[in-house]
Amino acid sequence: MKRTMVFAKRNLIEVFRDPLSWIFCIAFPIVMLIIMSVVNSAIPQEAGMTLFRIDNLAGGIAIFGQMFVMLFTAIAVAKDRSGAFLTRLYSSPMKSSNFVWGYILPMLLTAVIQVVISLIAAVVISVISEYTLNIAGLLMTVVAVIPSALMFSAIGFIFGAVFNEKAAPGICSIIISLGAIVGGIWFDVEGVGGFMYKLGKCLPFLYATKLARAAISMDFGVKEFFIPLGVVALTATVLSVIAGILFNGKMRADQG
Amino acid sequence: MGYAIKTKNLVKRYKDKTAVDGLTLTVEEGELIALLGVNGAGKTTTVKMLTCLTKPTEGKSSIMGRDVVEFPEDVKRLVGVSPQDTSVAENLTVKENLEFMAGLYLPKDKAEAAVVRTIKAFGLDEFQNKKAKLLSGGYKRKLSIAMALIGEPKVLFLDEPTLGLDVLARRQLWREIEALKKNMTIVLTTHYMEEAQELADRIVIMTEGKVKAIGTLEELESQTGKKGLEDVFVSIVENVE
């Protein structure tokens, strides 16, 4: 545990000192929140489109931001693998679980901080747009999106362990695009239906978005909250285990 | 004094290539040996096998009496490694890098004292709050060695520690290594003859994964009839080829 925390501290410092983390993990989601709120204000009420209303948008943006945490996890792992720094650590008393949680824990914390900041921005926007957000729902969201934060960190970890420093960000970008589309962040996937919805149901992103939105509106229905929570938590657990197994294998392969 | 390192018929094969071929070696506690050889001689692979970074295909090896394959956790606590490439956390300061490594090996109270001591011993006071990526090549190497030492290893492996450094930085690092000699066993891999000549108690000359000669400079000179390590080395390597 001690070694995990020591390694996690190092990774947290690395993330916080990288200006790109601030741009992509904090600034970009807030900018998207503002832009989409402006778009929402331009949509006539008669259209009946509520996707970009601040309560729906905030949940979507929380998940969208976590996708960038996945990107940064992948970059951190792949970058360390490409240099001799991990070689040094492989010869230290660190175990593979120290490595896995040492990478994932700071990313979880980053994701939580990011969600809190996004939700604070959402509150400001809700005040400006005269829409009342449920503060208890916002607090609930911070807790409810922890499983998806773990899931995205684990996905990033897997990509960082499998791909090199150049390939990992590219693969993550594809996942971010795919996740944003089929995750129902920018449009109503259920409404579109067809292949898009079927694909969305097969992947965990749509459930993550649904869960965040249900938490904001304090809707604890089985279909709205508990099934998405179960899917996301299970996916996060399975992916974390895969990440551990994969890193163990890569550790041996990297060492020759 | 006992043996710090013992290997017997150590072999490492990668598919169709044999990187190390039947290495048998003993190193006494407190000794500094230099592994000398051209590229691909098997120096780095030998270090990797002895530091649990790769498993040998055949043979036995032990560090301070602990078998490297059977007790890797014990061995990892006994060794310190400064890899060939710069291996520091670039965005961390000098002090944070040392605190990080100390945290992996030592309890908290000992770790803090070790950081202060190491910063002083390596003359890093002035740079302790500077990010590692902003250090010169020489200071990065210094930091890398300091990081290998902070866990208080019994055996220190320095894989080409002065590679790419200018002459002044190299000389300065030699002085640091010289000062460490009395306290621990050191295995140094290098391409530089003068480095081995200056620092090593014994020199191991490797070619194509095999030990071709081993001894003090004087012993090697008398074996080959040549004067100076460079001529000794060329004579041994060319005789093999």
CA B31 to each of CA A246, B1, B84: distance values in angstroms, whole numbers, following the listed order: 39, 10, 21
* Closest partner CB to A18 (pick from B53, B91, B104): B91
**Residue B165 near residue B171, CB atoms below 8 Å:** no
User: What mean pLDDT do residues B206-219 have?
Assistant: 90
Q: Tell me if chain A has a CB within 8 Å of the CB of B101.
A: yes
Q: Which tens digits make up the pLDDT trace of A97-117? A: 899 899 999 999 999 998 999
Q: Is A185 helix (H, G, I), strand (E, B) or coil?
A: coil
pLDDT the model gives residue A256: 60
Substitution target from A7, A79, A85, A88 for chain B, most B beta carbons within 10 A:
A88
What is chain B's length? 241
**Residues B50 and B187 sit within 8 Å (Cβ to Cβ):** yes
Which residues 6+ apart lie within 8 Å of A8 measured at CB?
A101, A102, A103, A105, A106
Does the beta carbon of B38 lie under 8 angstroms from any beta carbon of chain A? no
Q: Is A177 exposed, middle or buried (0-12, 13-18, 19+ CB in 10 A)?
A: exposed
Cβ of residue B44 closer than 8 Å to a chain A Cβ: no
B151 touches chain A (CB under 8 A): yes
Which chain B residue has its CA at the smallest distance from A1's CA? B104
| Spans of all domains in chain B | 3-86+153-240
Average pLDDT of span B50-69: 92
Which of A13, A84, A93 faces B104 most closely, judged by CB atoms? Answer: A93
Q: Residue B181's pLDDT is what?
A: 82
Rounded (10°) CA dihedral A17, A23, A26, A31: 160
Q: A45 pLDDT exceeds 80?
A: no
Given a contact cutoff of 8 angstroms between Cβ atoms, the answer to whether B146 and B174 are in contact is: no
Report the distance separating Cα B234 and Cα B241, nearest Å: 10
For the cut 60, the answer to whether the pLDDT of residue B73 exceeds it is yes
Give the model's pLDDT for residue B32.
93
Q: Are B211 and B23 in contact (CB under 8 A)?
A: yes
Question: What pLDDT, on a 0 to 100 scale, did the predictor assign at position A249?
Answer: 81
Token readout for B196 is: 């081995």
Our CA-based measurement puts residue A104 at a distance from the nearest CA of chain B, in whole angstroms, of 17
Question: To the nearest whole percent, how much of chain B has pLDDT over 70?
Answer: 99
From the list B54, B89, B151, which residue is nearest A14 (CB)?
Answer: B89
* Residue B74 Cα to chain centre, angstroms: 19
Determine the residue of chain A that is closest to B74 in CA distance.
A93
The alpha carbons of chain A give a radius of gyration, in whole angstroms, of 19
The values of phi and psi at residue B145, to 5°, are: -70, -40
The band of A254, judged by pLDDT with boundaries at 50, 70 and 90, is: low
Would the pLDDT of B240 be above 70? no
* Whole-angstrom distance, CA of residue A118 vs CA of residue B189: 52
Task: Determine, for residues B87 and A90 on separate chains, whether the beta-carbon distance falls below 8 Å.
Answer: no
Taking all residues of chain A, what is their mean pLDDT, rounded to a whole number? Answer: 89
**Nearest CB to B104: which of A83, A87, A92?**
A92
Residue with tokens 């720094």: A85
Comparing A21 with B18, which gets the higher pLDDT?
Answer: B18
d(CA B53, CA A143): 40
Mean pLDDT of B197-210: 91
What percent of chain A shows pLDDT beyond 70? 99
What lies within 8 Å, CB to CB, of A80 at 6+ separation is: A86
Give the global pTM: 0.85
Q: What is the CATH number of domain B3-86+153-240?
A: 3.40.50.300
> What does the H/E/C string look like for chain B?
CCEEEEEEEEEEEECCEEEEEEEEEEEECCCEEEEEECCCCCHHHHHHHHCCCCCCCEEEEEECCEECCCCHHHHHHHEEEECCCCCCCCCCEHHHHHHHHHHHHCCHHHHHHHHHHHHHHCCCHHHCCCEHHHCCHHHHHHHHHHHHHCCCCCEEEEECCCCCCCHHHHHHHHHHHHHHCCCCEEEEEECCHHHHHHHCCEEEEEECCEEEEEECHHHHHHHHCCCCHHHHHHHHHHHHC
- A254 to chain B nearest CA, in Å? 9
Alpha carbon of B135 to those of B19, B94, B100, B144: distances in Å? 34, 9, 18, 11
Chain segment A71-99, per-residue pLDDT in tens: 989 998 888 888 778 888 888 889 888 99
Torsion angle, alpha carbons of A245, A246, A250, A251, to 10:
-30
**Which residue out of A87, A96, A252, A255 would a mutagenesis test of the B interface target, given it has the greatest number of B Cβ atoms within 10 Å?**
A87
Task: Say if B147 is an interface residue toward chain A (CB within 8 Å).
Answer: yes
What's the pLDDT band for B149 if we cut at 50, 70, 90? Answer: confident
Number of Cβ pairs < 8 A linking chain A and chain B: 72
Distance CA B185, CA B31 (A): 5
Facing residue for B53 by CB, picked from A6, A90, A94:
A90
**Across B108-127, average pLDDT:** 88
Write down the pLDDT at residue B53.
87
Whether residue B241 is predicted with pLDDT greater than 80 in this model: the reply is no
CB contact under 8 A, B103 and A94: no
CA distances to A171, B3, B40, B228, B232 from B235, in Å: 53, 30, 18, 11, 5
Tell how strand B3-14 and strand B17-28 pair up: antiparallel
Average pLDDT over residues B120-126: 85
Of B14, B81, B104, the CB nearest to A256: B14
pLDDT of amino acid A38: 86
Answer yes or no: do B100 and A88 touch at CB < 8 A: no
User: pLDDT, tens digit, for every residue of A182-221?
Assistant: 998 888 888 888 898 999 999 999 999 999 999 999 999 9
With a cut of 70, say whether residue A255 has pLDDT above it.
no
Q: Quote the pLDDT of residue B178.
A: 85
Answer whether B66 touches A (CB < 8 Å).
Answer: no
Closest-CA distance, B22 to chain A, in angstroms, reads 18
- Asked if B71 has any chain A CB less than 8 Å from its own CB, the reply is no
Asked if pLDDT for residue A253 goes beyond 80, the answer is: no
User: What is the share, in percent, of chain B residues with pLDDT greater than 90?
Assistant: 41
Task: Report the residue of chain B nearest A93, measured CA to CA.
Answer: B76
